[in-house]
Structure 1
Amino acid sequence: MRVMTYNIKTGGYDGSRGTRLEAIADVIANEVPDVVALQELRGDSGPWLAKRVGMRMVRARSSWGQPVAVLTNPDWTVLAAGSVARPFHHAAARVVVATLGGPLTVISAHLHPHWGWRRMHEARWLVNAVGNARLALVLGDLNTLDPWTDHHDRLRALPPPYRVRHLRWRPPGREHTDRDVGPVGRVDTRAIAALDAAGMVDVFRAVGEGPPETAPTALGGAEFSGMRLDYLFATPALAEHVRSCRILRTPTADRASDHYPVVADIDI
């Protein structure tokens, strides 16, 4: 089974410049995935992509941000589907499919882009949504850095308005300075730490191949400085069966979005 998570940047639409939907569809179709977690849907981009790549879609709408979706192989039996009923800034979609190994829960999420404390709470809601599921995946653009890496250089490279998104909040009068970028403990990694503390396994950290950074692509973006923001987390029982994980860097992916997709292969 092959799974993918992909932030497609504003639904693939670039205003008067047209769309990147064909390129996005090509990136997905070339990998022949069984499950795709999509973030930043807009308009009819979700239904269009699902039809184009021949998959079924479960979409979670957003009250403040952008919808997300889970696409599944049409040959699979869907046991349950819907949104995670929490006030996410964007949204989270939850699908349970039947596999030979048992029911598999898949959650596509897109965490808050600006505030680390909000991302932490959203990550805890994802843990609650997984519940007691033995086989579960949480995939998506989690918009946060991991607690195992020294992020000093990449944060120093960001303009201050974007750098502060990844630093712990301080009271008025105690503004962040460049010194706050050095020690890893001052970087806000609480969302990833919450998933790790719940026993979820960072799939790329466990079996990943190649460089871990998922943004930016050749499309660029001032808010990125060579960062891993897109993740796959698996329950321990599922993580045992993950065979590979990689960041998909191809010429098509370079122009399809500002994020690279993450792909994993699982024997289940």
Structure 2
Amino acid sequence: MTHSLLTWNIKTGGGGGRLDAVVALLNRERPDIVALQELRDFQRHDGRRMREVADALGMVAHLAPSAFGQPVAVFVRPPLTITGRATVRWRLHHAAAAVEVPTPAGPLTVVSTHLNPFRPYRRQREARWLAHRHRAPLTLIAGDLNALDPDTAHTERLSRLPELYRRRHLDRDGRPDTSAIGALRAAGFVDVWRAAGEGDGLTVPTTKGGGHEFSNAGMRLDYVMARPELAARASHARVIHGDEAEWASDHYPLTVDLDLTTPY
């Protein structure tokens, strides 16, 4: 049984009429599991907006509010169910929402998170902490990690960014900082797009969704990082372009298929 997972930073809760476009794209793609970030105001009024979006998608959701930044969430489409939930609000600039989903392969753990956008050291610390908190074999960490991968030459792309935003991606020696992804890899997680990706993998900026902090550099900041046992089951990792994806957010959605047929 193959299940599709989609992760997407929808930019400040899809304000300004963009949320309808987010829902339209998700209903067209019909992923089985969705990890969303930047869910501003989704927790207000006892989570009314969260419930409205979940109902519009025909999915069950787990929302993690943030103490400092914006909420994140995981959505699951029936007949899949959520049998375990966890929320992390401290130690993270934003938050992390984790759910456990029974599958024929065994319990799948999905963590939606949004790492620190400003400080490389804090981003690395958040990544390391999440990696050591979630270590079950069928685990993935998905979301806007605000991080550069260690296998790409970033100097030329970063040179196109305004200095204020370029500093967010440089280490103390002025070199491109890849420490957050490096920390996840050191903890045994696999970059699924590297293992099973199609296209260039760039997730920001979109053509009509803003994103001045990315200039025209084109960057890959959104990831699905999986434990090796789960990464081996991944295929068709791709960035979704066109239609609503070009303007509903400043990030493109990233999707991947997971074969969860056989037991672990």
Q: What TM-score comes out, normalization by structure 1 length?
A: 0.90
What do residues 184-205 of structure 1 show as CA deviations (whole Å, max 9, x unaligned)? xx21110000011111110001
The residue that corresponds to 2:249 in the other structure is: 257
What do residues 214-252 of structure 1 show as CA deviations (whole Å, max 9, x unaligned)? 000022322112000000011111111112100001121
| CA–CA separation in structure 2 for the residues paired with 1:51 and 1:4 | 18
1:129 deviates by: 2.2
Q: Kindly, what percent of the aligned residue pairs are identical? A: 50
Q: Within the alignment, does 1:193 sit opposite 2:182 as a pair?
A: yes
Of residues 195, 207, 215, the one that matches 2:196 is 207
Of residues 13, 33, 36, the one that matches 1:35 is 33
| CA–CA separation in structure 2 for the residues paired with 1:262 and 1:54 | 20
The range that moved more, 27-36 or 93-102, is: 27-36
3-state secondary structure, aligned to 1:22: helix
| CA–CA separation in structure 2 for the residues paired with 1:254 and 1:38 | 17
1:151 deviates by: 0.6
Of residues 140, 154, 157, the one that matches 2:157 is 154
The residue that corresponds to 1:21 in the other structure is: 19
| CA–CA separation in structure 2 for the residues paired with 1:85 and 1:221 | 26
Q: Are the aligned partners of 1:166 and 1:188 in contact in 2 as well (CA < 8 Å)?
A: yes
3-state secondary structure, aligned to 2:166: helix
| CA–CA separation in structure 1 for the residues paired with 2:144 and 2:52 | 21
Structure 1 residues 149-188: aligned runs within 5 Å = 149-169=152-172, 180=174, 186-188=175-177
Q: Which amino acid aligns with 1:40?
A: E
| CA–CA separation in structure 1 for the residues paired with 2:178 and 2:248 | 28
Q: Within the alignment, does 1:7 sit opposite 2:5 as a pair?
A: no
Of residues 220, 235, 260, the one that matches 2:227 is 235
Q: Which amino acid aligns with 2:130?
A: L
The residue that corresponds to 2:211 in the other structure is: 221
| CA–CA separation in structure 2 for the residues paired with 1:51 and 1:169 | 46
3-state secondary structure, aligned to 1:223: helix
Q: Which amino acid aligns with 1:72?
A: V
Q: Within the alignment, does 1:55 sit opposite 2:47 as a pair?
A: no
Query: Gaps spanning 5+ residues in structure 1: where?
Result: 171-179, 181-185
Number of equivalenced pairs: 249
The range that moved more, 234-243 or 75-84, is: 75-84
Q: Are the aligned partners of 1:36 and 1:72 in contact in 2 as well (CA < 8 Å)?
A: yes
Q: Which amino acid aligns with 2:202?
A: E
1:213 deviates by: 0.5
Query: Gaps spanning 5+ residues in structure 2: where?
Result: 43-48
1:85 deviates by: 5.5
| CA–CA separation in structure 1 for the residues paired with 2:232 and 2:161 | 37
Q: Which amino acid aligns with 1:55?
A: M
Q: Are the aligned partners of 2:210 and 2:249 in contact in 1 as well (CA < 8 Å)?
A: no
The residue that corresponds to 1:174 in the other structure is: none
Q: What TM-score comes out, normalization by structure 2 length?
A: 0.91
Q: Are the aligned partners of 1:59 and 1:82 in contact in 2 as well (CA < 8 Å)?
A: no
Pairwise CA RMSD: 1.2
The residue that corresponds to 1:95 in the other structure is: 99
| CA–CA separation in structure 2 for the residues paired with 1:155 and 1:75 | 44
Q: Which amino acid aligns with 1:35?
A: I
| CA–CA separation in structure 1 for the residues paired with 2:222 and 2:213 | 14
What do residues 150-185 of structure 1 show as CA deviations (whole Å, max 9, x unaligned)? 011210000000000000135xxxxxxxxx4xxxxx
| CA–CA separation in structure 1 for the residues paired with 2:134 and 2:197 | 23
Q: Are the aligned partners of 2:132 and 2:187 in contact in 1 as well (CA < 8 Å)?
A: no
| CA–CA separation in structure 2 for the residues paired with 1:72 and 1:121 | 28
3-state secondary structure, aligned to 1:121: helix
